[in-house]
Structure formats: C-alpha cells, structure tokens
Structure 1
Amino acid sequence: MNFIKKTLKIKRSFSKDNIATLYYGDCLKFLDQIEKGSIQLIITSPPYNIGKEYEKKLNIGEYVSQQTQVINECIRVLKKRGSICWEVGNYVDNGKIIPLDILLYDCFAKNGLQLRNRIVWHF
C-alpha cells in the first residue's frame, strides 16, 4: 500500500499529465462527450442485472439492448488498436444461469473486435 501512496496521486479533474483518470456517473452521458477514437484502454464492470439494491433488474432482452448501446459507444471512442476489458458475470432468472459475456459477444464481434481472453472468477 505504501508503494501506491507514494507513486499515485489523486487528482480532482482530468489532465493529460494523469497516469489514469476514473469517472463516476452515467456512462452514456460521459461517453457522448468523448472524441471518437481517442481512448486507448477501457476497463469497466457494468451492472450484472441480478437485482442488487443499486440497480433496476431488466428482462434479459432489455439488458442486452442497453449493454449493446454502451458497447457501441465504447467502441466509437476506442483508438484503432485500443482494448476493452468488459467484466461481467452471469444473469440468473428462475434458476437459469446465463453467462453475460456470451450474450454480448456478437456485439463486439460485429464491430470488428476480437476476443483475446476470457477470465472466469472462482469463489
């Protein structure tokens, strides 16, 4: 932890001198403000749509549609050789488990992105 405290400084606003910048808020409103092809790396963990108190649970079709909209915007702002790390879990409904990355794969593929790795967390 000392290494982090000594090497990273928390900034209150964006600067090109920052090593990294984290944003909190509505991602579509934020992405709309970003120039096309300007981001090298996007790391995100969108809602899993499992009914947590901080999210509104949608039917699976609405969820995929919403995530597709966000993915398309992320791809718009991504640099040509950029990367997206899209961390999602499973959608569970009536005892049925559906891996969300499989449902969203086509959206990435249709936009010319290639799956490079799939990480499965074990608890």
Structure 2
Amino acid sequence: MPTTSLLHGDCLKVLPTLDVASHDLVVTSPPYNLGINYRSFDDTASRSDFLDWCRAWSAEIKRLLTDDGSFFLNVGAAPSNPLFPHQVLLALTEEFFVLQNTFHWIKSITIETRKGEQISAGHFKPINSKRYVNDCHEYVFHLTKTGNVPLDRRGAGVPYQDKSNIARWGHTGGVDKRCRGNTWFIPYDTIKSRDKDRPHPATFPIGLVEQCIHLHGKGRDTRLLDPFLGIGTSALAAKRQKIAHFTGIELDDHYLTVARERLEAPENQELF
C-alpha cells in the first residue's frame, strides 16, 4: 500500500528531520510574498529576507532529493511585480539547482480553430486596471541537480492532431502520443463555494501535480515531497497515481486538517 505522511510544522524545522536522498520528486508552490492573506504566514517580508528564506528551504530540498530527482516549483506573480518569479529562480540556481525546463501553466486561453471559431476555456481572476492585462498563467520551473535528468516526455504527452505524422516521423515508433511541450493548459475545477471547496487563498489543480508525476517517469515508485502542502492538493494527486510514498508539510493546522479531510472523503476512498 502507498504511504502518506502529513506533517505539521515549519518546513525549515521539519525538512532537516527527513533522511538524505529520501525523495525523488518535489512538487510545490511556496508563498509568493505578494501580501496574500494566509492564516499562519506573514506574506509581506522584504524581498531580500524572502529570498534568503527561499535559499534556506531550497538547500534542504537539495539534500533530500536523489541525484536523478526533479523539483517542480510553481511560482506566480502580480502584474505590478513581474520580476518576482525570476528573482526566486535566480536565488535557487545560484548554488543549489540547475534550471532544466520552464513550463507555462495556462489557466485560461482563447484559441481560434481551423474553421475560424474562437473558443475560450479556463478560469482567471479579472484585473481592473488601465495598465495591466488579465494574468492567465504562472510558471512551473523544473529544477534538477545536474540539468541532465531523463524525463518520460511521452508519459505526459498528448495524441497527434494530424495522425499522418505518426507514420511520417520515425521517432514516433508508431505510437499516437507526442511530447506535450512546455505549455500546460490546466484549468481550475469550477467550485460553488470558495470557503467550502477551496478554503485556501493560493492553490494549484490536482492535474498540475499529476502532470509532473507523469513527466518524472517513475510511476508508482515515485517518492513525492511537498513542503508547502496547503489543503493537500499534491497529496490527492499522489493518491490518485498510487505512488509509493508521499510526504507533505504544512505550517497551518487548519489547512492540514482540511488536507486530511480531503484525503479521507468518501469520494476519494476508491483511489486506494
């Protein structure tokens, strides 16, 4: 049976208690230092103090990650503060990690079909501004120790739109699946009540974590860590994928309670 460990506490105190090289995948989204109203975390530190804090937990993640491990870091920004994700990335790649891939998590998009039809899909938070457009995406930085970690590109792939390409291109091996690329359209699920269905000010969809698990390519042998668990989205993804071991750390006791309740909900019991 897969094992799930949900730990309560400050990640800077809990991470040092975990064994070296005990996880091969980290998927997380830390606070963005944008003044978000978390219950137990002050999201208004100075930029230098915040980046020092990021370096501290990043060093621990490197210690816990196997040499062939992957660290997927989801970071967003405010339109008035667009350099923030890149400043975090630079802080983490100065001495700890190599940036191997950059993914764009698309929350909402409008496309035009070959027939000229326009289709809008997804959700975004409208911005009332004369200077900025609506912000419909976030970054997912793929960090590794060496920059040379193999991925299962087609494990997280999509079918070919033009099926003739399957036979035309030798690298397909006759399989109707191609690499998805670095743009991931993963919308939020529609909710009726934020307080009931998503009682956390900053979450990512379960599908985003599952995409990282598939791309990582270790299947059920995956040992996944999320040091900023929130209400347990990554834990639910681990449960859906039946991976070997999941560890989540959360500072706020209420969010951790919600995470446990979500895992124990009747609709999720069939996932075991």
Asked if Structure 1 and Structure 2 have the same fold, meaning a TM-score greater than 0.5 normalized by the shorter chain, the answer is yes
CA 1:119/1:111 → structure 2, altered by over 3 Å: closer, same or farther?
same
CA 1:98/1:63 → structure 2, altered by over 3 Å: closer, same or farther?
farther
Tell me the CA shift for residue 108 of structure 1.
3.4
Residue-pair matches, total:
104
Is the 8 Å Cα contact of residues 64 and 104 (structure 1) preserved in structure 2? yes
Secondary structure, counterpart of 1:96 in structure 2? coil
* Equivalent position amino acid for 2:10 in 1: D
How far off is 1:19 after superposition?
A: 5.8
Contact conserved, 2:62 with 2:97, CA < 8 A, in 1?
Answer: no
In structure 1, which of residues 70, 86, 90 is the aligned counterpart of residue 73 of structure 2? 86
Residue number in structure 2 paired with 1:10: none
Structure-1 residue corresponding to 2:16: 32
Structure-1 residue corresponding to 2:57: 70
TM-score of the two chains, using structure 1 as the length reference: 0.70
Which of the two has greater strand per residue? 2
In structure 2, how many angstroms separate the alpha carbons of the residues matched to 1:112 and 1:46? 17
Contact 1:108/1:114 (8 A) holds in 2: no
The unaligned stretches of length 5 or more in structure 2 are 108-123, 125-272
Identity %: 24
C-alpha displacement at 1:100, in angstroms? 3.0
- Shift in alpha-carbon separation, 1:52–1:106, aligned structure 2, 3 A: closer
- Structure 2 residue 119 is matched with structure 1 residue 119: no
- Aligned match of 1:47: 31
- Supply the AA of the counterpart residue of 1:65: D
Contact 1:71 1:107 in 2 (8 A): no
Q: Is the CA contact 2:76–2:85 (under 8 Å) kept in the aligned structure 1?
A: yes
Indicate conservation of the 8 Å contact 1:89/1:99, yes or no: no
Counterpart of 1:114 in 2: which secondary structure?
strand
What whole-Å deviation, never above 9, does each CA across 1:50-100 have from its counterpart, x for those lacking one? 11221311111111111111111111110001011111111x5xx831343
TM-align CA RMSD: 2.2
- Higher CA-based Rg: 2
Q: Distance in 2 between matches of 1:104 and 1:52?
A: 17
More displaced stretch, 74-83 vs 18-27 = 18-27
State the distance in 1 between where 2:103 and 2:51 align.
Answer: 19
